[in-house]
Structure 1
Amino acid sequence: MIIPSFLQPGAKVSLVATSGAVKELAALEKGVEIWRSRGYQVEFSENWSNRLGYLAGSDEQRRQALAQAWQDPDCQAILCARGGYGSARLLENWTWAKTNPKWLIGFSDVTGILWSLAKQGICSVHGPVLTTLAQESPQSIDRLFSLLEGRPLAPLIGQGWGGGKVRGRLLPANLTVATHLLGTSVQPTLEGVILALEDVTEAPYRIDRMLTQWRMLGIFSQIKAIALGRFSRCLAAPNSDSQSVEEVLKERLGDLGIAVIAELPFGHDGDNAALPVGTMVELDGDRGILEFFYPE
């Protein structure tokens, strides 16, 4: 896995709207200010304020903005403005230009871009987008910059479901987005990875349906372990007969015979701990600890 050059204050970074239209202008401004307060020069892509329905401009406009930032020799990192929807459309017929790899930071809908980079063997960051960055705790913000600037990462603590201790490459994703990427040209190899999953506002039966698809595809027999983040606001309709999302996760994932940790601090609606995509980690399913061997 290729790890891009670590950032240093003073470097130029580019804000790119890869997915949904940017509507949270105050939140975006606060996120940009955090980067500037750390000493970075934030450049706005030409498309950042574009709107085409729910998208931040046409596919070609978003593709051009990402390509321009990726090929800019002065740009050291790409900061995704927000999630929403649209990265999969951008990646249709997409080719990464042969250039010095650089950091790309995002989560949720940005999963598609993170996975596309992982397939190329390039490390990226599953972490806050600019419109959510200011909602993070100081500790979570420090963790993001520690990752990008090449400092060690503290382990994450969750609830262990058992399964012992295992090492593998970490592949984070939003469950819904990743499910729609399975079998596409964007999907990286899943053999031997430690899969980290999160989601938001999906009813329990939808989570059940997606995990059942993964089971029927045989993917859970290929991976080494599962790290579950936050499944926030994944609630059933009022007065409906339904299991809770916690019950669904336990029922669909608890019988796989692999190590699992739940309730890790990443995802929506709370601290979104930065995760280095594609790097080696150790997951202890008995003690509920996800440990990072970073940087190596």
Structure 2
Amino acid sequence: MAFRYDIRLIAPSGYPHIPEAMQRGIERLEAAGHRVDGVEVLERRDLRFAGTDAERAADINGLGDPRRPLPDVVLAIRGGYGAHPLLPLLDYDALGQRLRGPPVALIGHSDFTALQCALFARAGIVTYGGPMLGPDFGAPELDAFTWEHLWRVLRDDEAVGEWEAPGAGTLAAEGTLWGGNLAMLAGLVGSPYFPAIDGGLLFVEDIAEPPYRVERMLYHLLHAGVLGAQKALLVGDFTSYRVAEYDNGYDLDTVFERIAAAAGIPVIRGLPFGHGPAKLTLPFGVAGRLQVADGRATLRFSGHPRPKTS
């Protein structure tokens, strides 16, 4: 069976700074048989944002309007900054009533993590951390792993992600799978938009954050009672950062060793997720089952939104 989706673009954060990447992404999706709408968001500009706060919030609130047909997939065009101001503008009651029923896949990463946290905390809506239009589908070379895993997740009742996890001990753990961009997670702690999840499998990633800032954000999650309450921390890509001579050997390896000791939970490295080209598509808010043995991790999940196919 061919899997063809109605895909609606949203731009909750920055405007397209590489327009040709957006066009490439649309062309690839359409060439695969998918229908893409919402392209008007690519033309909006307001300061550094893809439209005013009201415009960008309206794109999301429109998903809760029963007069409008729902797409199969809602795809963020890019990250950047801009999601935080939208959080108090969203109609969580309407969104929850509409999106907890029909399976709609809301997909993005980076700044999109703020929306994922809020939608789950306030309305119980399951979303996906995954590829976006410009950075991923519009990359000069499309990453086959990223492309294929997304469609497998949306198609299969049970989805699987596997990766090499060097140095990890044997582990079997189950819990709510959640997470995303570390800066977004740490920035929402203590707000009404941060989900209360204990016993979860927390995954994190970030970009351009030096090791000391990564450690500080993780300690913030620990001091807030979040990190130590998880079954495991899954470490994705931390890219485009620098270490200084002053660090004197202190690096990300050091950070995660220190955090594992301080939090008293397993820290599993190597998760292909984040700002790198190869990424798993991971649901935020469903049960996950993690097994680690012989330096290899396997993550299984089910109950995730699986749109209709046509």
Q: TM-score, normalised by structure 2?
A: 0.85
Aligned partners of 1:158 and 1:261 also within 8 Å: no
- Counterpart check, 1:133 vs 2:123: no
Q: Residue 107 of structure 1 corresponds to which residue in structure 2? A: 109
Given candidates 12, 33, 36, the residue that maps to 2:30 is 36
Residue 44 of structure 1: how far off its partner (Å)? 1.9
Aligned partners of 2:288 and 2:301 also within 8 Å: yes
Given candidates 238, 241, 247, the residue that maps to 1:231 is 238
Q: Residue 273 of structure 1 corresponds to which residue in structure 2? A: 280
Query: Are residues 284 and 254 of structure 1, via their aligned partners in 2, closer, same or farther at CA, if it must alter by over 3 Å?
Result: farther
Q: Which moved more, 1:170-179 or 1:272-281?
A: 272-281
Q: Residue 290 of structure 1 corresponds to which residue in structure 2? A: 298
Query: Are residues 150 and 117 of structure 1, via their aligned partners in 2, closer, same or farther at CA, if it must alter by over 3 Å?
Result: farther
Q: Residue 162 of structure 2 corresponds to which residue in structure 1? A: 156
Give distance in 2, aligned partners of 1:289 and 1:166. Answer: 11
Give distance in 2, aligned partners of 1:94 and 1:114. Answer: 12
The superposition leaves residues 219-241 of structure 1 with CA deviations (integer Å, 9 ceiling, x where unpaired) of: 2221111111111122224x333
Give distance in 2, aligned partners of 1:241 and 1:187. Answer: 32
The superposition leaves residues 115-142 of structure 1 with CA deviations (integer Å, 9 ceiling, x where unpaired) of: 2222222221100111122344212201
Q: RMSD in angstroms over aligned alpha carbons? A: 2.1
Q: Residue 308 of structure 2 corresponds to which residue in structure 1? A: none
Give distance in 1, aligned partners of 2:170 and 2:182. Answer: 22
Residue 153 of structure 1: how far off its partner (Å)? 2.6
Q: TM-score, normalised by structure 1?
A: 0.89
Secondary structure class of the residue paired with 1:271: coil
Residue 39 of structure 1: how far off its partner (Å)? 1.6
Aligned partners of 2:63 and 2:98 also within 8 Å: no
Residue 74 of structure 1: how far off its partner (Å)? 3.9
Q: Residue 50 of structure 1 corresponds to which residue in structure 2? A: 44
Q: How many residue pairs were aligned?
A: 288
Residue 69 of structure 1: how far off its partner (Å)? 4.3
Q: Residue 88 of structure 1 corresponds to which residue in structure 2? A: 84
The one-letter amino acid of 1:48's match is L
- Counterpart check, 1:220 vs 2:227: yes
Give distance in 2, aligned partners of 1:183 and 1:126. Answer: 22
Given candidates 121, 127, 136, the residue that maps to 2:124 is 121
Secondary structure class of the residue paired with 2:263: coil
Q: Residue 198 of structure 1 corresponds to which residue in structure 2? A: 205
Aligned partners of 2:44 and 2:51 also within 8 Å: yes
Residue 177 of structure 1: how far off its partner (Å)? 0.9
Aligned partners of 1:192 and 1:224 also within 8 Å: yes
Given candidates 16, 19, 40, the residue that maps to 2:13 is 19
Identity of aligned residues (%): 28
Secondary structure class of the residue paired with 1:240: helix
- Unaligned residue ranges in structure 1 (runs of 5+): 1-6
Higher relative helix content: 2
- Unaligned residue ranges in structure 2 (runs of 5+): 305-310
